[in-house]
A = this chain, B = another copy of it.
Amino acid sequence: MVGDTLERVKSGINGMDEMMQGGFAFPSTVLVAGSAGTGKTTFALQFLARGVRDGEQGLFFTTLSEPTQWMLRFVTHFTFIDKDSFGKQIKYVDLGPVLRKDRDPDILLKYIDDQIAEHMPQRIVIDPLTVVGEMISGSYRTFLYDLTTRLKNWQAVSVLTGEVLPGQMYPVELSYVVDTLVLLSTDLSPEGTRRKYLEILKMRGTNHATGKNLVDLSARGFVVQVGLR
């Protein structure tokens, strides 16, 4: 009999590890896709916060140039993360100036590589990655290909967040090149409230739970209500 030979790291999302044989494959790339307000940044922070607890280094790339103090204020909203880990166990790097100034995908890739080499993280976040597609010169597809090829060479799990248009399921170009695809979505209940869902749509080399699961999203972060639809 063949068991699960993939090394796993905890996702940090309450209830999600049981859905995927114990956690994300290590190393691997994870696309977290959802439209506005589905909680992609919160997901990424929970993922990094769990790493802090497990003694792993985290690296958070922002493409939106949110100032560190904005991020700190945002972080203090949550109970699952220690604000003091920011700048230490979780390095916070702004890709905005590189993106804005050069628009050259190769310079951007080199900058990302240099940052990873410097901090040697086990957990990497790029939030949101889809913004890059609109701002670099040259082919987005080739950039994604090169980026994920490089990320695979590092011993890390990379969580890449992707904005989707309302009605779309996920950003297709990104879905090709990642190992794991997590969908965050919402719908309006008959009572007019907006319900939130998490689904693992693809996970290479893993028997994962399928289908949409209701999630709670609060100051405690995501909690997956496995089996609740």
Contact = CB atoms under 8 A, between A and B. Distances in A.
A38 B95 CA distance: 34
Given A149-B65, A212-B188, A79 B36 contact: no
Interface string A115-151: 0000000000000101100110001011001100100
Contacts of A64: 145, 176-177
Interface stretch (A9-17, A48-56, A66-74, A85-93): A66-74
Contact of A76 (B5, B41, B146): B5
Chain copies in complex: 6
A8 to B, nearest CB: 12
Contact of A145 (B100, B142, B169): B100
B166 A168 contact: yes
A202 B76 contact: no
Nearest to A65: B149
A49 to B, nearest CB: 13
B166 A170 contact: yes
Nearest to A80: B2
Interface string A95-128: 0100010000000000000000000000000001
Contacts of A135: 139, 141-142, 145
A177 B163 CA distance: 11
A173 B37 contact: no
Contacts of A186: 210
A25 B95 CA distance: 24
Nearest to A7: B73
B170 A36 contact: yes
Given A146-B100, A176-B128, A177-B64, A203 B37 contact: yes
A175 to B, nearest CB: 4
Nearest to A81: B2
Interface string A193-229: 1100001011111110011110000110000000001
5 contacts: A36-B181, A100-B145, A135-B142, A135-B145, A194-B201
Q: What are the 3 closest A-B residue pairs judged by CB atoms, nearest first?
A: A37-B202, A192-B229, A194-B210
